[in-house]
Amino acid sequence: MTGAGGVSAPTVRTDIGPDDLESGPLESPKYYISPVQPGVYVVNSPEAPSNSNKQKHTNKINENNKAKHEVFNIDDDIQLRPSNGNTGNQDIDGSNRDIDRSQTFGVDENEARGNWTGRLDFILSLLGYAVGLGNLWRFPYLCYRNGGGAFLVPYLIFMSIVGIPLFFLETSLAQYSSCGPTTCWGFSPIFSGLGIAMCMVSGLTSLYYNMIIAWCMFYFFVSFQHPLPWAGCDNDWNTEDCRLKLPSVSCDDGVKHVNGTCYVDSAFTGLWNDSLFTEATGRKRVSPSEEYYNGYILGISSGVEEVGQPRWQLTLILLAAWTICFLCLIRGIKTTGKVVYVTAIFPYIMLLILFFRGVTLDNAGEGIKFYILPKFEMLLNAKVWKDAAVQIFYSMGPGWGGILALSSYNRFHNNHVGDSLFVSLGNCMTSIFGGFVIFSYIGFMAGQLGVTVDKVATDGAGLVFVIYPEALNNLPGSTFWAIIFFLMLITLGLDSQFVTVETVMTGLCDSFPGLRKYKTPIIGALCFFSFLLGLPMCTPGGVYILQILDYYVAGWSLLFIGLTEVLAVTYVYGCRRFCDDIELMIGRPPALFWKVTWMATCPIGIAFILVFAWVDYAAVTYGDYVYPGWVDGVGWLLALVSVIWIPGVAIYKLYKEDDDDTLLGKLRLITVPSREWGPALVKHRRLVERVPGFVVDPFTEKGQLNRAYSGSSLGSIHIANGNSVRRYPSGTSMVGSTRSLSTGRSGVSATSRVTYESQI
């Protein structure tokens, strides 16, 4: 057989049947194809028909080899679409055929982009992306600030009606099209700016997220000593306000002064009243761990106006963090898919260890009681509901683009409904379980400080780098607990960071496919450039910069992106069409629950929270520090730098559209699917049966070689287009090809647009 250009195609074996497959253990779903390719195996999905006869095994092996070599005989396997527009699961003779939904792992189904080596790689990568540092410091703090158990009520409600549905929507969208965040909008090209917005959010977030990982690495390295460096108040970075220098005393045998101090025989012994001391002197007692964090780790300045020079310790550790990120990404998902076996599983082992240690501490019950007993009056506060919704977007990942990036490497036939539910519920339960761990230590800290639980915790990063180290320092074997705690934080952060950077990289490579062969140097350049952009956060004023990025970049812009996305899919593309696409992949239509949430609860819930976020807007602060007014303007620019791409790209596409002279006509042309929209591979596009005139092979149409048709003995059609000649396999539907042939563009013709619109 001869392929395109007279090149001989590889020989495809057709004589391999069940006898040639190595069965796994009894009742194992795997069939190993070791006689041909060691490590390649077939897994039957729940929707797959039984592969009990030899012919089905033979077809599966043939299809696997064809996908690997790309060039094969069209007469053997490809069923062309009849020219009358009929589509679906029919052979040329019109007979129905079953769809084999088993999955072959060990080779890439989509060789151009690559696929996950196995399903577990994908699930763990998604779980590692969704479960990050926010689950152990942002969620507990929001829960702490909003009434303990009362926060769990809106959190669980929003998780059910917004978070999980959006998670499933993004995995379905990316897996169906095999496209990442910048190229999966072919169903309505006017929304292409969403992908750029997602990449911008991920790129900016990765800058400060890796800085937090660098701090964790710093603490991890310095924890290999006893006593821990933040245990005392006699170091160069300590001040006279260090708590050990101002101990709390009862002063029963001394003289109580009105400024809160206590003296015995004219010698200062401590403070009998903290409030009086602060009111009289303006000074506040500070824990040794807080002074270590601010004085030694950060070398913090007085404000954002005093940035200063990068500190060499933080600079080196940030460089190490970006180097680790680069090394784990250079081989794409094949590398990260294996790294996550450690980074996604290890934190759960550490959480279990810390949980059993935490609940055995003195006064731990008081912290857990504060966590699980709700203050129901807080449910009347709209801010609690807003914080719950923002936490869903922050921790689960909708709107970031990471879900789209990871799912785009998944295989077309997959039970990703179960995957989405597993990851979503896993993320939720991790936050809740992590809350028990954290509040047990907060209760312990409250007992050590002699205060109530609601007087212990602090905001954001302070919870991780002030409260936790202080609690660890008071544990027997403090060095050991500090090492495993910060190692857990590093692994929690790394897998989220991998996906955040991979999102940007996937967006670039999908938009410019020629970059894929230069992936390693591009990732290196991206990581090095990000390192340079992160250097200002290594300065004494860096923590103020980090707070600005965290407050504005990952705030209301995520809500706006999520709202636009769900409206685009369900109301512009059409919920019924989207459900048909999902049914094509998994073999059954999605449940009514998904349709109701996509069309009603998601947009309504997000819109409500978004409006309230704007009405209740307050400028950023860091502890007691109030930023100057100009920072608020910079923050809004940071928020707009992502979402501005959504209307910007839409306006650009309206301007460039020249197949209609009216605004409404132009708008109509760029809000319906393009000719390329659909599954990425021809063998999957053949399964589309609900769209008359669906283009099976849009790439050949554009003059690109599609090897799925190479070597066809069925003849071809030559169509002139300017100075070029395009080759079409005979029997391929030509419905809707007029516009792209006459203009040289890959848009949707009037004919195909009508057929698409009729499906809404």
Convert the pLDDT of each residue in 131-144 to its tens digit: 888 888 788 888 87
More confident residue, 742 or 222: 222
Convert the pLDDT of each residue in 49-99 to its tens digit: 444 443 444 444 444 444 433 333 333 333 333 333 333 334 333 333 455
pLDDT at 603: 94
pLDDT at 739: 36
Helix (H, G, I), strand (E, B) or coil at 64: helix
More confident residue, 384 or 343: 384
Phi-psi region of 332 (alpha: psi -120 to 50; beta: other; left: phi over 0): left
pLDDT at 53: 41
Statement: residue 125 has pLDDT above 90 = no
Query: What is the percent of the chain where pLDDT is above 70?
Result: 75
Least confident of 266-270, 616-620, 731-735: 731-735
Statement: residue 449 has pLDDT above 80 = no
Over range 329-334, report the average pLDDT.
71
Q: How far apart are CA 241 and CA 738, in angstroms?
A: 78
Helix (H, G, I), strand (E, B) or coil at 270: strand
Instruction: Give the 3-state secondary structure of 99-127.
Output: CCCCEEECCCCCCCCCCCCCHHHHHHHHH
User: Residue 701 — very low, low, confident or very high, per pLDDT cuts 50/70/90?
Assistant: low
pLDDT at 532: 96
pLDDT at 5: 38
More confident residue, 743 or 108: 108
User: Residue 43 — very low, low, confident or very high, per pLDDT cuts 50/70/90?
Assistant: low
C-alpha count within 13 angstroms, C-beta hemisphere, residue 699 = 13
Over range 452-456, report the average pLDDT.
77
Instruction: Give the 3-state secondary structure of 615-660.
Output: HCCCCCEECCEECCHHHHHHHHHHHHHHHCHHHHHHHHHHHHCCCC
Over range 661-669, report the average pLDDT.
88
User: Residue 9 — very low, low, confident or very high, per pLDDT cuts 50/70/90?
Assistant: very low
pLDDT at 470: 83
Strand 30-32 relative to strand 41-43, pairing: antiparallel
- With b for 16 or more beta-carbon neighbours within 10 A and e for fewer, the 620-654 pattern comes to bebeeeebeeebbeebeebbebbbbbbeebbeebe
DSSP 148: B
pLDDT at 37: 45
Sign of the C-alpha dihedral, residues 243, 249, 253, 259?
Answer: positive
Query: What is the percent of the chain where pLDDT is above 90?
Result: 22
Q: Hey, which of 124-128, 169-173, 393-397 has the most confident mean pLDDT?
A: 169-173
**Mean pLDDT value across the chain:** 76
pLDDT at 34: 40
Over range 419-448, report the average pLDDT.
85
pLDDT at 32: 42
Q: Cβ–Cβ contacts within 10 Å for residue 209, how many?
A: 25
User: Residue 459 — very low, low, confident or very high, per pLDDT cuts 50/70/90?
Assistant: low
Statement: residue 158 has pLDDT above 80 = yes
pLDDT at 337: 61
Convert the pLDDT of each residue in 333-355 to its tens digit: 666 666 777 777 888 888 888 88
Identify whether 227 is preceded by a cis peptide bond (ω within 30 of 0).
Answer: yes
More confident residue, 183 or 96: 183
Over range 669-698, report the average pLDDT.
83
C-alpha count within 13 angstroms, C-beta hemisphere, residue 399 = 32
Least confident of 187-196, 461-470, 652-661: 461-470
Convert the pLDDT of each residue in 578-600 to its tens digit: 999 998 888 888 899 999 999 99
pLDDT at 31: 43
pLDDT at 758: 33
Token pair for residue 386? 């807003």
- Name 489's Cβ contacts closer than 8 Å, sequence gap at least 6: 133, 136, 216, 464
Token pair for residue 758? 């009729």
Strand 255-256 relative to strand 724-729, pairing: unpaired
Over range 655-683, report the average pLDDT.
86
C-alpha count within 13 angstroms, C-beta hemisphere, residue 166 = 35
Strand 103-105 relative to strand 41-43, pairing: antiparallel
